[in-house]
């Protein structure tokens, strides 16, 4: 086990999201600076059968999750933060047969809204395949059902 409690929380969080399991997304790195997820290449993610390039939707799922999970890095306690909006700029197609990394960070936290940004890359973080910005709504930690998931993510017995 790692000695990074934030990465452990992120790992538990991502494993609770069914669609992320389907996409094979796992937590790669986490710190106060932001979070990096990894999505391995898989043939069922392909959007263009002629080139073998994965579909933008899989990339958007990765980046929506990365931006949403970046909120874990800045909030003292788990809060459900639904996405308000998301914008993805595609720099170039993801090369087939290589994993995609998704990095995201929060650049402003207010009482109601969290502003996040990030990018997806393969070999070189300096050559992103997509840039992303997203805003998230803070629902607070008292939302019904939240505490169970919150404790599960912290690693407490529910």
Partner 1 sequence: MTHRFKTRLEQAHERGDYEALLNLIPYAKLIGIECTRLGDELLFRLPANKDNIGNPILPALHGGVIAGFMELSAALYLLVFTGAPGIPKIIDFSLDYLRAGQFRDTYAKCQVWRQGRRVANVAITAWQSTAAEPIATARAHFKIEEQSRP
Query: What is the x/- site pattern for partner 1, positions 128-157, by CB under 8 A?
Result: ---------------x-xx-xx--------
Binds partner 1 by CB under 8 A, chosen from 27, 30, 63, 70: 63
In the complex, minimum distance from the CB of residue 54 to partner 1, in angstroms, rounded to a whole number: 7
What is each CA distance from 32 to 36, 86, 141, 149, in whole angstroms? Answer: 12, 22, 20, 21
Interface with partner 1: number of residues (CB under 8 A): 42
Question: Rounded CA gap, 146 and 30, in Å?
Answer: 22
Rg (Cα) of the chain, in Å, rounded? 15
112 binds partner 1 (CB under 8 A): no
By CB under 8 A, residue 79 contacts partner 1 = no
């Amino acid at each position: 086990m790692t000695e990074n409690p934030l990465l452990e929380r992120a790992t538990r969080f991502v494993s609770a999201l069914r669609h992320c399991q389907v996409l094979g997304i796992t937590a790669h790195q986490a710190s106060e600076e932001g979070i990096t997820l990894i999505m391995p290449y898989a043939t069922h993610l392909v959007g263009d059968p002629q080139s073998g390039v994965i579909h933008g939707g899989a990339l958007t799922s990765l980046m929506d999750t990365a931006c949403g999970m970046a909120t874990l890095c800045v909030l003292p306690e788990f809060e459900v933060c639904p996405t308000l909006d998301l914008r993805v700029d595609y720099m170039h197609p993801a090369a087939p047969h290589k994993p995609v990394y998704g990095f995201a960070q929060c650049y402003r936290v207010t009482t109601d809204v969290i502003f996040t940004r990030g990018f997806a890359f393969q070999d070189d973080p300096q050559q992103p395949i997509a840039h992303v910005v997203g805003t998230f709504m803070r629902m607070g930690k008292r939302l019904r059902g939240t505490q169970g998931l919150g404790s599960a993510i912290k690693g407490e017995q529910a």
